[in-house]
């Protein structure tokens, strides 16, 4: 790929240890983010997509802890740094968080304080990552609000978050994420709480900003429609692993992993015929604390190969390549090779 790699995540593992036992939230996750491209991360609840985002920003909740792996920011450049090795409280990590890496939340109110005006909050974010005067920071805040399509930004900077609609609040959330002039933006379900026409506006805003600023976007969602609309590459996650990685067209036209196939068939479609039934995946996602042996998907898999799948763990997809972590796929590829 010609695009510059902004972040290389390798073999990332995160565990939550408690009296009830150890929960492996991430189990060897690898992927790359590229400047100007969007990686869509998709999966059901508990698959680890949000923990991945929080790990990159080093804001995993206690008692969660990174037990293995690397997260190399700007690999091969003088600015290269392994985020997994940094102290979450360190000055360097604080420069990354909200600076080199911006974060957009599902509910923008999580990112915004109710006590301060949106202008104050954006200014604070700007001042944290740039050595400029307050007046300059205010101008920058107005500029950012204009960039994210907020009408009359000069007056809106004195508004409190509760005075804004959900759509406008998410635009402010995006302005906050952009305040540190990031090269990577992680958006965790950025449109899930929004109405459908607002969602369409926010997605097209994200697309425009990404193109203008050549941002590497990591878009986390459970919505296959949003993935189809936005992603260049897709990582499908299940129980803390990337089970399939491929360009977006391939994921939809020729999904490799049985889970991806089942998931796509289960999605209700705006193009459905009347009373059309959906294919279902039997059972539910197991609790990450009760991870099945072998391939974590085998108890729900309609294509499993017996002992191989129940006892051994399939090889993860090598980063930078398309593929699926599945013995069945391995076998069919061995035949065609």
Partner 1 sequence: MNLLEVQDLKKHYPIRAGLMRREVGRVRAVDGVSFHIAQGETLALVGESGCGKTTVSRCILRALTVTSGAIRFATSETETVDLATLPKRQVRPLRRHIQMIFQDPYASLNPRMMVGDIIAEPLKVNGVPAAERRDRVAELLELVQMPQSARIRFPHAFSGGQRQRVGIARALALNPRLVVADEPVSALDVSVQAQIINLLLDLQDRLGLSMLFVAHDLSVVRHVSDRVAVMYVGRIVEVAPTDTLYRAPLHPYTEALLAAVPAPDPSRRGRRRVAQGEVADPANPPPGCAFHPRCPYAVDRCRIERPELTPTGSGRYVSCHRAAELDLVGVR
Binding interface with partner 1 (CB under 8 A): 44-45, 165-168, 195-201, 203-204, 222-229, 231, 248-249, 252, 262-264, 266-281, 284-285
Shortest distance in whole angstroms from residue 13 CB to partner 1:
24
Q: In this structure, what token pair is assigned to residue 220? A: 């986390």
Q: Which is nearer to partner 1, 66 or 263 (CB)?
A: 263
Task: Judge contact between 140 and 226, C-beta under 8 A.
Answer: no
Rounded Cα distance, 171 and 152, in Å: 13
Shortest distance in whole angstroms from residue 262 CB to partner 1:
7
Q: Which is nearer to partner 1, 225 or 320 (CB)?
A: 225
Closest by Cα among 226, 170, 211 to 193:
170
Q: Which is nearer to partner 1, 197 or 336 (CB)?
A: 197
Q: Which is nearer to partner 1, 174 or 227 (CB)?
A: 227
Q: Which is nearer to partner 1, 113 or 204 (CB)?
A: 204
Shortest distance in whole angstroms from residue 248 CB to partner 1:
5
Q: List the end-to-end C-alpha distance of the chain, in Å, as a whole number.
A: 23
- 225: DSSP letter: H
Q: Is 157 exposed, middle or buried (0-12, 13-18, 19+ CB in 10 A)?
A: buried
Shortest distance in whole angstroms from residue 317 CB to partner 1:
20
Shortest distance in whole angstroms from residue 266 CB to partner 1:
4
**In the chain, which residue ranges form alpha helices assigned H by DSSP?**
49-56, 91-96, 108-111, 118-129, 134-147, 153-156, 166-178, 196-213, 224-230, 248-253, 258-266, 307-311, 327-336
Shortest distance in whole angstroms from residue 276 CB to partner 1:
6
Shortest distance in whole angstroms from residue 255 CB to partner 1:
11
Q: Which is nearer to partner 1, 129 or 241 (CB)?
A: 241
Rounded Cα distance, 90 and 92, in Å: 5
Q: Which is nearer to partner 1, 109 or 127 (CB)?
A: 109
- Give 97's contacts (C-beta < 8 A, 6+ positions apart): 57, 58, 59, 103
Q: Which is nearer to partner 1, 63 or 268 (CB)?
A: 268
Closest by Cα among 4, 100, 85, 42 to 228:
42
Rounded Cα distance, 225 and 159, in Å: 33
Residue bearing tokens 């007056």: 155
Q: In this structure, what token pair is assigned to residue 196? A: 């459908």
Shortest distance in whole angstroms from residue 198 CB to partner 1:
7
- 104: DSSP letter: E
Residue bearing tokens 């101008």: 139
């Amino acid at each position: 790929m010609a695009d510059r790699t902004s972040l290389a995540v390798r073999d990332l593992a995160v565990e939550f240890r408690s009296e009830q036992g150890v929960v492996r939230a991430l189990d060897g996750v690898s992927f790359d983010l590229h400047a100007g491209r969007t990686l869509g991360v998709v999966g059901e609840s508990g698959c680890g997509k949000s923990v991945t985002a929080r790990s990159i920003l080093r804001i995993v909740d206690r008692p969660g802890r990174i037990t293995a792996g690397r997260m190399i920011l700007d690999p091969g450049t003088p600015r290269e740094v392994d985020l997994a090795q940094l102290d979450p409280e360190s000055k360097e990590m604080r420069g990354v968080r909200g600076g080199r890496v911006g974060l957009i939340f599902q509910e923008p109110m999580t990112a915004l304080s109710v006590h301060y005006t949106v202008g104050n909050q954006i200014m604070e974010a700007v001042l944290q990552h740039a050595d400029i005067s307050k007046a300059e920071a205010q101008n920058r805040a107005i500029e950012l609000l204009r960039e994210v399509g907020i009408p009359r930004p000069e007056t809106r900077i004195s508004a409190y978050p509760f005075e804004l609609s959900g759509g406008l609040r998410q635009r402010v959330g995006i302005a906050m994420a952009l305040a540190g002039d990031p090269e990577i933006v992680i958006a965790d379900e950025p449109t899930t709480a929004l109405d459908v026409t607002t969602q369409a506006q926010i997605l097209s805003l994200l697309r425009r900003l990404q193109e203008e600023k050549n941002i590497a976007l990591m878009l986390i969602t459970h919505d296959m429609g949003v993935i189809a609309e936005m992603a260049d590459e897709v990582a499908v996650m299940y129980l803390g692993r990337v089970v399939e990685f491929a360009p977006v067209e391939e994921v939809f036209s020729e999904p490799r992993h049985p889970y991806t196939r089942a998931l796509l068939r289960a999605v209700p479609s705006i193009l459905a015929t009347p009373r059309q039934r959906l294919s279902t995946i039997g059972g539910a996602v197991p609790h990450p604390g009760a991870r099945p042996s072998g391939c974590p998907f085998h108890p729900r898999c309609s294509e499993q190969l017996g002992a191989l799948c129940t006892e051994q763990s399939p090889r993860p997809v090598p980063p930078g390549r398309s593929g699926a972590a599945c013995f069945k796929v391995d076998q069919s590829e061995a035949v065609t090779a």
